């Protein structure tokens, strides 16, 4: 009994977690089914209309046509209505989840900001910077030596993008120039995306690069950390003091 209840609970959770995908799949089936039902109903309605018009002078008006044929389209209307409900339901659930994710992301960023500020207040900025460098060392150490290194038009200094943990070659002047250029875009256009920054660096864009970005309220600020990649080659870690946020290009 307990095992059956567990299976039922697991199945319920699986459906709930994947409800947008389930509703979307049902809606796709509903669209196809509605088209089939309409196709099946049309010949029957046409026959009834032809018989009716053959028994009366002149063409039947719209009201008469509806009253004569509506019963054939009831299944199609029912399935179509259910399909619309599935589409609206999937969109509603996705919107709510996106809003919840954005809210959770914002709370996490706020908590990190408050923690860092308090850490600087308690242990001092120098020690906080040392802790940050130790964290960046761990990040660099987990990037394999065989990782791809993206070449840019800059110099041959090795850099690591903290956000995607990708290596690229450039020079400090070019990286700082990209930071300045992004902030100019932010103050002129009110926002800039993470991919905009990557384009200025000369490295490939990322899959989430258009979903995250900075605004005039959250401009781009970079923290640099000098490390050794796999204990061999010097590398500068490019970390964001303020992480890019979602919905950066929405106003109001």
What are 63's two structure tokens? 């009201």
CB count, 10 Å around CB of 212?
A: 20
pLDDT tens column, 28-72: 777 778 788 777 777 776 776 677 666 666 666 667 666 667 777
Identify the three-state secondary structure at position 148.
coil
Note the Cα 120 to chain centre separation in Å: 33
Residue of 203, 224, 205, 230 whose CA lies nearest to 147 = 230
Percentage of the residues of the chain whose pLDDT score is greater than 70: 69
pLDDT tens column, 176-235: 999 999 999 999 989 999 999 999 999 999 888 888 889 888 889 899 999 999 878 999
What are 219's two structure tokens? 């401009």
pLDDT tens column, 158-174: 999 998 899 999 999 99
Whether 154 has a pLDDT exceeding 60, the answer reads yes
Q: Which helix (H) or strand (E) holds 158?
A: strand 157-161
- Between CA 172 and CA 236 the distance in angstroms is 9
- Structural contact between residues 214 and 181, judged by C-beta atoms closer than 8 angstroms: no
**Dihedral of the CA atoms 87, 250, 195, 97 (nearest 10)?**
-40
- Between CA 241 and CA 229 the distance in angstroms is 22
The domain segmentation of the chain, as residue ranges, is: 2-105, 124-246
Residue of 241, 238, 246 whose CA lies nearest to 215 = 246
């Amino acid at each position: 009994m307990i095992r059956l209840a567990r299976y039922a609970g697991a199945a319920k959770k699986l459906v709930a977690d994947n409800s947008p995908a389930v509703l979307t799949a049902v809606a796709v089936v509903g669209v196809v089914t509605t088209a089939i039902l309409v196709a099946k109903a049309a010949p029957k309605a046409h026959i009834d209309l032809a018989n009716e018009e053959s028994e009366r002078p002149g063409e039947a008006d719209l009201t008469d046509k509806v009253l004569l044929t509506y019963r054939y389209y009831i299944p199609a209307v029912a399935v179509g209505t259910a399909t619309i409900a599935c589409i609206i339901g999937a969109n509603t659930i996705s919107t709510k989840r996106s809003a919840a994710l954005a809210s959770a992301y914002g709370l996490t960023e706020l908590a990190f900001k408050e923690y860092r500020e308090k850490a600087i207040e308690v242990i001092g900025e120098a020690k906080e910077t040392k802790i940050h460098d130790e964290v960046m060392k761990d990040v660099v150490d987990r990037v394999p030596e065989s990782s791809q290194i993206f070449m840019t038009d800059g110099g041959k200094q090795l850099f690591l993008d903290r956000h995607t943990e990708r290596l690229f070659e450039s020079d400090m002047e070019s990286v700082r120039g990209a930071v300045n250029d992004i902030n100019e875009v932010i103050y002129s256009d009110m926002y800039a995306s993470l991919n905009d920054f990557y384009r200025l660096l000369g490295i490939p864009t990322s899959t989430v690069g258009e979903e995250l970005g900075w605004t005039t309220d959250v401009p781009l600020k970079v923290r640099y950390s000098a490390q050794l990649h796999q204990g061999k080659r010097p590398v500068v870690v490019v970390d964001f003091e303020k992480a890019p946020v979602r919905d950066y290009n929405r106003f109001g």
